[in-house]
Structures are given as C-alpha cells and as structure tokens.
Structure 1
Amino acid sequence: MNPLDLPFDTDEMLAGLKPWIECESPTHDAAAVNRMMDLAAYDLAAEAAIERIPGRLGFGGCLRARFPHPDQGKVPGILIAGHMDTVHPVGTLDVLPFKVDGDICYGPGIMDMKGGNFASVEALRQLIRAGLRTPLPVTVLFTPDEEVGTPSTRELIEAEAARNKYVLVPEPAAEDGGATIGRYAIARFNLRTVGKPSHAGARLADGRSAIAAMARKIIEIEEMTGPDCTFSVGVIHAGQWVNCVSSLCEAEALSMAKKQEDLDDGIARMLALQGEVNGVEFQVSRGVTRPVWKPDQPGTMAMFEIAKEIAADLGFDLKGRSQGGGSDGNFTGAMGIPTLDSLGVRGQGLHTLNEHIQVSSLVERGRMMAALLMRLT
C-alpha cells in the first residue's frame, strides 16, 4: 500500500489533537509539562514501548517511545525529535481557546509544535494499522525545554540521535510548506546590573539605579545588531517598590548568526560590555548556545530530495532553507547526522495570541511523515 493513500481523517486528527492543545504546558511549569507527557504517553501506549525519563534542573520529564521492529536496538534507525513545552502560560486558553474556523484551527502551542508532533504520531499509527513495516526502526523522543534553549535535555537528545541514522524534526513548516536543512547559531546571555539603593522620594541622588543602567545597556546591546549577527533583549526583571531606587536588575539577551565565527565574535563583544560605570556594575554570563547546523550536508540533502519527491506527489514544491529560530535540529545537524527539520504543520502566529494552523496541513504532513518513514533506508 502506498503510504500516501493511508486513510488519514481530518476530523479524527482534530479530535485527537484537541486534548493536547487544551493540556497547557509552559516550559517553566514542570507539572504542566509532565501532564502533557502523560497524555502523549497514553496516546502512544497501544503502539509503542513507552519510557518516561525524569526531569532535572527544575524542568519536566521526557517521553521516549520505541516502535516494534525486528531491528529495534540492533541497527541505527530514525529518530523523530519534538518538544512538548510551549511559550504560553497556563490560562492562555482563556484568550486563545482551541477553535476551528474553516481551514484554521487556533490554540496555544498548536503550531509550535504540538500539531507537528501529533501528525507524526498519527503517521506511525496509520502505518501500523495498515500492517506496513518501516525499513528502519523508529523512535520518538518528546522533550520539555526547547523553548528556553534545551538546557536540561541536550545531552539526552544528542545521545539518542547518535544511535540513529536519521533525525526528523516536526517543527512548524514554512508558510509555503518548506523544510529546514540548516539553522543559524544562537547564544543566550544572562545580564545583571548592580547599583545602590535609596529612597526615590527623599534621597534620590544617593541611589544608583540598576534599572536606568540596564535600560542604557539594552539600547547599546541592540544597536550592535548587524547583517552578520543580531542582538535582542526579551526579558527584564527589576524593582519591587516605586519609591525605591532599584539596586538590582536582571535581563536575558539573545544573539543569532549564520556562521559560528560570527556568533563567536558576537559573544566576545557581549562579554566585553562588562564593567562598572557611575557606580553601577554590569555583569554578563553565558547562557545556553545552539551551534550552527550547516546546510547542504550530503546526508541531509539526500533525505531532502526524497522529501521533495514525496511533496511533489502531494501536490506542492518543497523548498529547503537554512534559517534562524533555532531548534533541537541544531544539535543533531551539527553532529553531522542527516537531519530534516520543519516537517510539522503549516500555520502562522507562533508564540503569539493568534497562533493557528491550517487544518488541511494535518493530513498533508501526516502523509509526508508516513512516506518518509517508509522510504528512508
């Protein structure tokens, strides 16, 4: 049976996806992420051997599912790698509920990346129900911390990838359905200004504001952005009382570059900003880093050509791009393991209160994943 002819059903996929979306799972809420892993484990239990891996560093745990195959554990196979954490806090469903409107379906995390994860699981279900055996054994690994740079599970992902011949990542597809064949390097930084407290009303001049100093540093950091390396600050925490000059301000910054040498230069420039000015100390420490996954690696491109042929049969021209954004594909691609990313659903508005997918892409991406699993040898 041609895997493109498998009886994927849009309504059934939406019904199965709905509980995943309504199980909110923000990264920093370990209990919420674990509830999502429980739900996915239940949905996978009928077809696969399930293993729950405890979380660490305050994050939720992982779910690993190995599908029955005579060569499971004997030969390198295929790893489907996805994350179940989202950027949306618990309660987002109140303003972004799961809702279907024609070919659009809304919900927190539905595009990034629960929709793609679910389509991949459905692809495996359809293959098993049809009695089709993939040439290579398949493992699914769902992780809890990708949205913050994968600080607790990078080693696990890399160890699992090293046991496999291919890695498929169902992160969101490009708007035209395109796949990712390389990703830019990303570095995170923890920033801190340390000033001197005082009463903001009675003794303002005695204080040294950590908030004001951080504001000036943010402008300086973001103005370092150029064509080869970008800088942005996305998190700030400071102050408890408006009538106190704040002596501490903390922030987080992100830098991205197409080439590792450009990112290394950017890191050096960030670290060089440290020092004391007007009684306020500015501190910079390195956070997690995603390495460059260079495009055009032979193994990845061979896999992309197969995917391109499948896409043609599905009625569209699959484009391959190297891009920013970062994913766990950075790690596996940088290891030299053939990796194909952005195999998930089409949509728009990821990380916003308008996050949605094209409903029709659920079946499209399910069929693409099923066909890839049958053609990779």
Structure 2
Amino acid sequence: MPADPIAAVLDLPFDQEAMLAGLCRWVACESPTFDAAAVERMLDMAARDLALLGARIERIPGQMDFAGCVRARFPHAAPEGTPGVLVLAHLDTVHPVGTLERLPIRREGNRCYGPAILDMKGGTYIALEAIRQILRAGLATPLPVTVLLTSDEEVGSPSTRDLIEAEAARHKVVLVPEPARPSGGVVTGRYAIARFNLRTTGRPSHAGARLAEGRSAIREMCRQVVAIEAMTTDDCTFSVGVIRGGQWVNCVATHCDAEALSMAKRQADLDAGVARMLALKSTNPDVTLEVTRGVTRPVWEPDERVMALYRLARGIANRIGFDIGHESSGGGSDGNFTGALGIPTLDGLGVAGAGAHTLEEHILVDSLVPRARLFAGLLASVE
C-alpha cells in the first residue's frame, strides 16, 4: 500500500452504472432462505465472481436443510494464519421465489427497486467491488482478506452461527455490509433478539353440528398473541409474526402454531423477556400451550476498539466527501455474534435505501460508489 492509502482509494475508478448492472444480475437470482436450491444458485454466482478475482474458494455444506456457505480467501504476503479482515455477509433473503413478478427490478430516478437489493445483496456486491478495484489497481491490503457468505441469516443463522463465530475468531476485524442506517450512518452495536415457537392443542369437533364440544386451538392462540404483544415495554418488545392453524373450516381446530420475536437493548432485559415467554400458560384448562425458545442473537455493545474502527471509517468518509454517524440498532445481524465475542466489528457498511423486506425495497443508486469507496478505504487502512 502507498504511504497514503486513502489517496489511492480516492483514485480507484468505480463505475456506478457497471456496479448497478452487476448488482441487478444478483438480484435477478432470487434466493429465499427456505429454498436451499435457490440459495445455492446465488452462492454459485457469487463464488464464480470471487474466483474471477483470484480468491481461493471453499464450499461448506449446509445443515438443517439450509444451503451451504462460501468462504473466499484472497492471496496475501502475510504468513498463513495471520489474523486479517473478515467480510461477513449473507445471500439468503426474505422474498420467496416469484417476488420479481410483484417487485420487478426497475430504476426510477435515483432509486432502483428489487427483492433483496438493499438487504443485503447491494452491500455484499459493493464489498466485492471494493476488493475488485483494489486488486485491479495492484494495491496490497495491510491484512489478509476473507469473505464468508452465509445462507440463513434472515432466520437467525441457526445452522451457521458456529461457523461464523469460529471464522471470526481467526480474524482481527469483521466488516458487515448490511444496509446503511436511514441517516447514512454505520452500526456499532446491536440489540439482543430471541425467537420463540408456540403451539396450542385443543379438542376437535364438527363446527356445524357439535361446536360446543370442541376447544379451539386457534381461539387460545389469538388470546396469547394479544397477551404477548401487550407485554411490550420500552426495554423489551414482543411481536408475533407468523401464525398457522386449522385444516378445515367445518372442524374446530386441534392445533395452532405461531412464531414470536423479542428484542431488547440490554441482555438482562432480554433474559427477563425470555423468562416471561417461557412462563406463559393457557387461559383454557382444556387447551394446552407449549412455548419453546428458538435461536437467539446476543446483545453487542461497542467497546473502544469498535469506536476506534468507527473513527477510522468516519475519517475515510470525510475524505471521500461525506460524513457518517454511528448507532446501536435493532433488527439483528450476524454482527451480533462477532461483536458479542469481542472482535472489533463494524456493521451497516452497505448501500443506502429503504423498504427492506417489503415490496418497496430499493437502493439509492448514488450511494453505490461512495459506499464502495468507503469499504475499499477500510480494507486499505485496517492494520
């Protein structure tokens, strides 16, 4: 690297339109978490792009019926095993295959729409573009760079947490290209999150002929949903996002299943919320309620090393021509795991936009180049 690596990064020839075209190719490859074959197709595409950059590609098999992962290591003069920079990103999305029909890839002025274009294919793509431009310029990063692309982040990373933590432990710094904050800032901490699975079991009967003999699992679950969401406070929130029950409209429902999520800024508050969820009881003695805890993301609170990483990023952004704030954020990411381990982590380094997880998801096209340049500046500066 030159004596002033940021000056070198400022000269890298990022091309907004070429980047947008490449990103749209990724967005066109739909990859919802629960469709392992679709996610594997997206991993194939990204692995090929990384291989073209000269990375050594490793495919890690999936578990729990999820797709696998891609680990890409770039050549470096440092001895094998030297702790470096881990770029941590996911390629699974919340949008089912077919969403492109309702959310087609389209550009309207400074906005470009498409499923997962913001969360987080946009950020992942600009991270690769940052690496591409550094390599094309013949620049050498101070530390080795590894990219880990995972497949189940959108459901809490149940099959990849151990891999993420093991890989991060071998690195000095973790960079996560999740979307930028609405302010354009980055993320230096994330709230704790817990998921829960609930099941009510009632007693069936013919809904037309013998309604009174039945005990509806759906009715009890509805009562639980209202009670759960009423537990929300400023310290700990509760929401139910999935509910399924019954099979025939003329039969009192025997089973009903739901999924709930709790989020807190402090681990102690989440632990208290978990205890409240696990202590829930059925309001009807003839209907049983089971509550089991699902995946959890630990709270990540910034320390001085994280703030030093932020200050470095802010200084780079200022030299590029913009400013970035920082914040702790909800809506967990895999940065929860690495940050909670005490590994300096900077999150929210992706593109700017809005509407993540909705049919209005879009990026701001003019954020592609400055955010990619910021990412390149970090890779060029972290020691």
1:355-366 residue pairs with structure 2 within 5 A?
355-366=361-372
Cα displacement string for residues 337-366 of structure 1 (whole angstroms, at most 9, x for unaligned residues): 000000000000000000000011111111
* Distance in 1, Cα, partners of 2:272 & 2:21: 48
The equivalent of 2:307 in structure 1 is 301
2:255 is the counterpart of 1:248: yes
SS at match of 2:159: coil
The equivalent of 2:166 in structure 1 is 159
SS at match of 2:52: coil
The equivalent of 2:4 in structure 1 is none
SS at match of 1:51: strand
The equivalent of 2:375 in structure 1 is 369
Cα pair 2:220 2:282 within 8 Å, conserved: no
- Tell me which of 172, 191, 209 is aligned to 1:202: 209
TM-score of the superposition, structure 2-length normalised?
0.97
* Distance in 2, Cα, partners of 1:169 & 1:227: 27
Could you tell me which runs of 5 or more consecutive residues in structure 2 were left unpaired when the two chains were aligned: 1-6
The equivalent of 1:168 in structure 2 is 175
Cα pair 1:276 1:282 within 8 Å, conserved: no
Return the offset for 1:142. 0.5
Return the offset for 1:100. 1.4
**AA paired with 2:80?**
G
- Classify 1:64/1:72 alpha carbon distance in 2 versus 1 (closer, same or farther; 3 Å): farther
Return the offset for 1:75. 1.0
Cα pair 1:271 1:284 within 8 Å, conserved: yes
The equivalent of 1:89 in structure 2 is 96
1:53-68 residue pairs with structure 2 within 5 A?
53-68=60-75
The equivalent of 2:132 in structure 1 is 125
SS at match of 2:146: strand
Return the offset for 1:70. 1.5
**AA paired with 1:202?**
A
The equivalent of 1:3 in structure 2 is 9
* Distance in 2, Cα, partners of 1:137 & 1:102: 38
- Tell me which of 44, 51, 56 is aligned to 2:50: 44
Return the offset for 1:72. 5.8
* Distance in 2, Cα, partners of 1:361 & 1:62: 28
Could you tell me which runs of 5 or more consecutive residues in structure 1 were left unpaired when the two chains were aligned: none
**AA paired with 1:67?**
F
The number of aligned residues is: 376
SS at match of 2:350: coil
* Distance in 2, Cα, partners of 1:175 & 1:227: 21
SS at match of 1:18: helix
Percent identity for Structure 1 against Structure 2: 64
The equivalent of 1:25 in structure 2 is 31
* Distance in 2, Cα, partners of 1:150 & 1:274: 29
Cα displacement string for residues 97-156 of structure 1 (whole angstroms, at most 9, x for unaligned residues): 111122110000000000000000000000000000000000000000000000000000
Return the offset for 1:276. 6.3
* Distance in 2, Cα, partners of 1:314 & 1:241: 61
2:117 is the counterpart of 1:103: no
The equivalent of 2:357 in structure 1 is 351
Cα pair 1:4 1:368 within 8 Å, conserved: no
2:276 is the counterpart of 1:235: no
**AA paired with 1:17?**
L
- Tell me which of 265, 270, 274 is aligned to 2:277: 270
**AA paired with 1:158?**
E
* Distance in 1, Cα, partners of 2:278 & 2:372: 45
Cα pair 2:220 2:283 within 8 Å, conserved: no
* Distance in 1, Cα, partners of 2:378 & 2:328: 20
TM-score of the superposition, structure 1-length normalised?
0.98
* Distance in 2, Cα, partners of 1:200 & 1:115: 50
* Distance in 2, Cα, partners of 1:7 & 1:358: 19
* Distance in 1, Cα, partners of 2:281 & 2:174: 39
**AA paired with 2:211?**
L
SS at match of 1:200: coil
2:332 is the counterpart of 1:332: no
Return the offset for 1:4. 2.0
* Distance in 2, Cα, partners of 1:376 & 1:113: 23
2:132 is the counterpart of 1:137: no
* Distance in 2, Cα, partners of 1:193 & 1:73: 53
The equivalent of 1:211 in structure 2 is 218
* Distance in 2, Cα, partners of 1:250 & 1:94: 30
SS at match of 1:2: helix
SS at match of 2:227: helix
* Distance in 2, Cα, partners of 1:368 & 1:234: 35
**AA paired with 2:317?**
A
- Tell me which of 177, 188, 193 is aligned to 2:184: 177
Return the offset for 1:324. 0.6
2:21 is the counterpart of 1:15: yes
Return the offset for 1:292. 0.4
* Distance in 2, Cα, partners of 1:56 & 1:74: 26
Cα pair 2:243 2:258 within 8 Å, conserved: yes
- Classify 1:72/1:35 alpha carbon distance in 2 versus 1 (closer, same or farther; 3 Å): farther
Cα pair 1:189 1:287 within 8 Å, conserved: yes
